[in-house]
Each structure stands twice: as structure tokens, then as C-alpha cells.
């Protein structure tokens, strides 16, 4: 068991950084989270958003600040110290920014400090080129918002020791998340690759006038979005194949699958960005904080029902 992650420095306190702050703070009643972010509105940003990310019964942000379990560091050097157990970065998605940052952090912390990046798709082997021990850097890619969404894609570089991978997986499993180790550094890792392929097809269908933005959302929410939250694509198609399972599915539907695959490639023609953005803004207007509150309430409830039902099924299986 690696050292407890009690002194945590979060570099970048935007959408993801603040969500991870809530996750770490609610996962341990003793851990200390130090935020470093040069944004001029950091105080108001944290005070306005962080309370929504913490459970309603959790210690208030004001109390966390008063007890110094939550701190704002005025500099990187004051956020990352020899007593820091974990530095997690969620700054701008820029290879230049992250590559420049990690050698600085490495020089500030102890050799046992865990170094994680929340990047959407910049591999650790790219970000760590300037580090003296590149293998120390590990990608822990969340799905927004990480204080609720359980997936963490743990993506080691070829230089990363297995012990660091195991330590990160152990931490996230212990706090109720679902880490999945991705064994090769692909662009966008796995979740984003799957999401972006679907998103490309959705944009193409809107651009072709096959369907409007809001109808794509209705279709996904009323079918695959629900289905894949319960059983992923392989299990779902295995079930869909009846007695033949996935082999039966591929035998029955395989030609249509391949026909669709062969069509859905290459760039989308025309001014598709303007079209999908225009229809999205027309359908939903500007995003408000209340949108996030409603999203989080429903997402938490769905996850809770899935957990409750799976536990009930497991209990029945052990009792029979
Ligand atoms: N937004 C999303 O859905 C997801 C984002 N990510 C990744 O998380 C990272 C952050 O993304 P977001 O939170 O969405 O962006 P964001 O723009 O909300 O937050 C980035 C924060 O970094 C701060 N920052 C800028 N320069 C800095 C510096 N020198 N030192 C410290 N902080 C600095 C900014 O002030 C800002 O608050 C990116 O790498 C992104 O790819 C990962 C999964 C999902
Ligand atoms: O969709 C998410 O939450 C994450 O998988 C991402 O990394 C996104 O691509 C994010 O960067 C943009 O929404």
C-alpha cells in the first residue's frame, strides 16, 4: 500500500480541477487540498461552484477554508512542496503548457510524491519529456464531472512502473470510482475515441439535414445512452444476438454494420460547425449553473439506482 494521499495539490481549478477538489475532499475527512490557479476570480469561482459539487451534508467550503483543509496557493512553489503526497494537474489542454510544467513540479516535491495529469488526450510520454524521471507521470483521465462520473482512465507511459498504476487504481477504487487501465497511449485514450466517433456521425447527420441537433440528443438519451450506462456495447450486442450472442448478432446484422462503417469516414463536408452550433444554441440557449445542478442530481440518482439494483441482484444470487 502506497502512502496515503493526504496532502494534495491541484494545479488548475477550472471545470475539472474544482470537481476533483470536491472528490478528494469528500473522500477523506482529513486530507488537505491546495489549489493553485492564476485566475483572478479564483476565490469567487471556488465559493460559487464548489458547494454545488460537495454532498449537501458535507462540511461547508467556508469551514474547509477556515480549518485549512482547503487552501489557495499564490504560486506553484507554495502549492507543491516536499510534504505534498499528490500533485494533480488540470490546466489548459496544451502540450506546451503541460510539458513545461512537469519538470518544475518534479523539482519541488519529494521522490515519492504521485504526479497525475487529468488531460483529455495528451499522453504522459509527451508531457514528461523534460522530467528527470518521466515514468513518474501518470494520466488519470476523468469523465466530466469527475466528482460524479465514476470512470477514470489510468494511462501509463511505457516508462511508468506498474506500482504507480496500481497505487492510482487502488486510490480511485477505494473512493468509489471505476479506474480502467489503458495499456497503450492512443490519441484521446478510449472513452473520448468512442465518444468522438459517435459525435462525428451526429455532426455529419445534422450537416446532411438527416436530423436536427435536439433530435440526435433525444435519440441517444432514449436508447444507446440508457443502454450503455447499464451494459456496454459488447455486452449489449451479445444480448442482442439472442441465443447466438455476439456471434449471432454479427452474423445477422454484420452487413449493415459494415455498410455503416464504410460510409462514416473522412471529413464532414461544408460549414457543419456553424450548423451544429447554431442548432444547439437555438435548442438549449446559454449554459447556466442550474443546468449543471440538474445534470448532477439526475446523474447521481441514476448511478445510485444502478448500484442499489446490482447490490440487490448480488444479494439474491448469494441467498439462492
Ligand atoms: N472539461 C472537460 O470535460 C474535461 C477536461 N479534461 C481536461 O482537464 C484539463 C482542464 O480542463 P478544464 O477544467 O475543462 O479547463 P478550464 O479552462 O475549465 O480550467 C483550466 C484552468 O487552468 C487554469 N490555468 C491556466 N494557466 C495555469 C497555470 N499556469 N497554472 C495553473 N492553472 C492554470 C485556468 O485559470 C483554468 O481555471 C484539460 O487538460 C482538459 O483536457 C479532462 C476531462 C474532461
Ligand atoms: O467528455 C469528457 O468529459 C472527457 O472525456 C473529455 O476529456 C472531454 O473530451 C473534454 O475534454 C471535452 O468535453
Atom of ligand 1 nearest to the CA of 36: 31
191 ligand 2 Cβ < 6 A? yes
Cα-to-centroid distance, 108 and ligand 1 (Å): 21
Is 199 inside a domain boundary? no
Is 218 inside a domain boundary? no
Question: How high is the pLDDT of residue 125?
Answer: 97
Domain final residue, candidates 130, 161, 181? 181
Question: How high is the pLDDT of residue 2?
Answer: 63
Tell me, yes or no, whether 74 and 146 share the same domain: yes
Residue 42 and residue 21: Cα distance in Å, rounded? Answer: 13
Domain final residue, candidates 158, 181, 204? 181
Nearest to 127 by CA among 151, 149, 153, 159: 159
- So what's the ipTM on this one? 0.96
Q: Which ligand is nearest to the CA of 37?
A: 1
10, 11, 16, 96: residue to mutate for ligand 1 pocket, most atoms within 8 A of CB: 16
Residue 105 and residue 314: Cα distance in Å, rounded? Answer: 45
Which portions of the chain are predicted below pLDDT 50? 1
Tell me, yes or no, whether 55 and 137 share the same domain: yes
The domain that holds 55 is classified in CATH as 3.40.50.720
Atom of ligand 2 nearest to the CA of 143: 3
Tell me, yes or no, whether 142 and 252 share the same domain: no
Phi and psi torsions of 286, nearest 5°: -75, 150
Tell me, yes or no, whether 55 and 144 share the same domain: yes
Contact 276, 284 (CB under 8 A): no
Residue 291 and residue 297: Cα distance in Å, rounded? Answer: 10
Is 188 inside a domain boundary? no
Cα-to-centroid distance, 17 and ligand 2 (Å): 13
Question: How high is the pLDDT of residue 265?
Answer: 78
Domain final residue, candidates 150, 181, 212? 181
Cα-to-centroid distance, 191 and ligand 2 (Å): 9
15, 94, 187: residue to mutate for ligand 1 pocket, most atoms within 8 A of CB: 15
Strand, coil or helix: what is 190? coil
Strands 70-72 and 32-36: parallel
Residues spanned by the domain of 301: 223-319
Tell me, yes or no, whether 165 and 21 share the same domain: yes
Q: Which residues neighbour 119 within 8 Å (Cβ) at sequence distance 6 or greater? A: 89, 93, 98, 127, 139, 141
Cα-to-centroid distance, 237 and ligand 2 (Å): 25
Strand, coil or helix: what is 177? coil
Residue 49 and residue 54: Cα distance in Å, rounded? Answer: 9
Q: Is the pTM of this model over 0.90?
A: yes
Nearest to 17 by CA among 121, 106, 123, 118: 118
Is 211 inside a domain boundary? no
Question: How high is the pLDDT of residue 267?
Answer: 86
Is 189 inside a domain boundary? no
Question: How high is the pLDDT of residue 169?
Answer: 98
Residue 197 and residue 214: Cα distance in Å, rounded? Answer: 18
Question: How high is the pLDDT of residue 1?
Answer: 46
Contact 79, 48 (CB under 8 A): no
Count structural domains, the chain: 2
Summarised one tens digit per residue, pLDDT across range 134-165 is 999 999 999 999 999 999 999 999 999 999 99
Cα-to-centroid distance, 263 and ligand 1 (Å): 35
Is 132 inside a domain boundary? yes
Is 193 inside a domain boundary? no
Amino acid at each position: 500500500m502506497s502512502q496515503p494521499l493526504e496532502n494534495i495539490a491541484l494545479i488548475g481549478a477550472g471545470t475539472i480541477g474544482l470537481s476533483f477538489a470536491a472528490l478528494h475532499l469528500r473522500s477523506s475527512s482529513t486530507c488537505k487540498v491546495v489549489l493553485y490557479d492564476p485566475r483572478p476570480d479564483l476565490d469567487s469561482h471556488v465559493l460559487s461552484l464548489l458547494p454545488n459539487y460537495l454532498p449537501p451534508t458535507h462540511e461547508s467550503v467556508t469551514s474547509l477554508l477556515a480549518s485549512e483543509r482547503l487552501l489557495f496557493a499564490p504560486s506553484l512553489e507554495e502549492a507543491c512542496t516536499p510534504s505534498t503526497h499528490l500533485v494533480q494537474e488540470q490546466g489548459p489542454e496544451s502540450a506546451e503548457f503541460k510539458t513545461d510544467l512537469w519538470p518544475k513540479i518534479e523539482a519541488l516535491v519529494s521522490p515519492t510524491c504521485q504526479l497525475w495529469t487529468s488531460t483529455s488526450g495528451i499522453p504522459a510520454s509527451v508531457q514528461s519529456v523534460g522530467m528527470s524521471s518521466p515514468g513518474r507521470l501518470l494520466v488519470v483521465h476523468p469523465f466530466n464531472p469527475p466528482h460524479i462520473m465514476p470512470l477514470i482512465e489510468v494511462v501509463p507511459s511505457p516508462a511508468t512502473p506498474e506500482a504507480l498504476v496500481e497505487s492510482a487504481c487502488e486510490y480511485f477504487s477505494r473512493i468509489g470510482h471505476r479506474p480502467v487501465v489503458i495499456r497503450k497511449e492512443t490519441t484521446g485514450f478510449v472513452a473520448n475515441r468512442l465518444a468522438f466517433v459517435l459525435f462525428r456521425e451526429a455532426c455529419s447527420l445534422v450537416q446532411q439535414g438527416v436530423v436536427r441537433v435536439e433530435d440526435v440528443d433525444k435519440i441517444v438519451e432514449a436508447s444507446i445512452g440508457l443502454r450503455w450506462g447499464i451494459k456496454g456495447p459488447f455486452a449489449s450486442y451479445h444480448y442482442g444476438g439472442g441465443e447466438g450472442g455476439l456471434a449471432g448478432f454479427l452474423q445477422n446484422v454484420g452487413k449493415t454494420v459494415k455498410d455503416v462503417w464504410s460510409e462514416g469516414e473522412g471529413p464532414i463536408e461544408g460549414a457543419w460547425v456553424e450548423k451544429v452550433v447554431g442548432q444547439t444554441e437555438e435548442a438549449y440557449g446559454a449554459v447556466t449553473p442550474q443546468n449543471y445542478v440538474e445534470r448532477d442530481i439526475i446523474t447521481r440518482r441514476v448511478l445510485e439506482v444502478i448500484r442499489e439494483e446490482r447490490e440487490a441482484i448480488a444479494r439474491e444470487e448469494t441467498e439462492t
